[in-house]
Amino acid sequence: GARHRLWFNTTTGLLMREVITRETPIGIIPQQTDFEQWMSTGGTAFPMKVRTSLVDPWVGSTRQYTDVVLDAKVDDAAFAKPK
């Protein structure tokens, strides 16, 4: 199974980091995710920057969001089975 460790900002209570470790046949593999640039939208906080780091330095990613839309309308056609 996986083990999750969470770090929170002591002032805001917001999640700052998550480290997941998984046991594999070759040993324990860590994955670290950092949550940054929190913004409030409609009374809910969202991290606008999420960085994921893995053992392999070429596989990590950074996601930078520009906005968050709550209760966005999505056309049902977006979920239709491809033809």
Q: Per DSSP, what are the bridge partners of residue 31? A: 20, 54
State the pLDDT confidence band at 42, using cuts at 50, 70 and 90: confident
Res. 37 pLDDT band, cuts 50 70 90: very high
Compute the distance between CA of residue 24 and CA of residue 3 in angstroms, rounded to an integer: 12
- Write down the pLDDT at residue 55: 87
Kindly indicate the confidence band of residue 59, based on its pLDDT and cuts at 50, 70 and 90.
confident
Residue 14 has pLDDT above 90, yes or no: yes
d(CA 61, CA 52): 5
* Residues sharing a CB contact under 8 Å with residue 13, sequence separation 6 or more, in sequence order: none
Residue 15 confidence class, pLDDT cut points 50, 70, 90:
very high
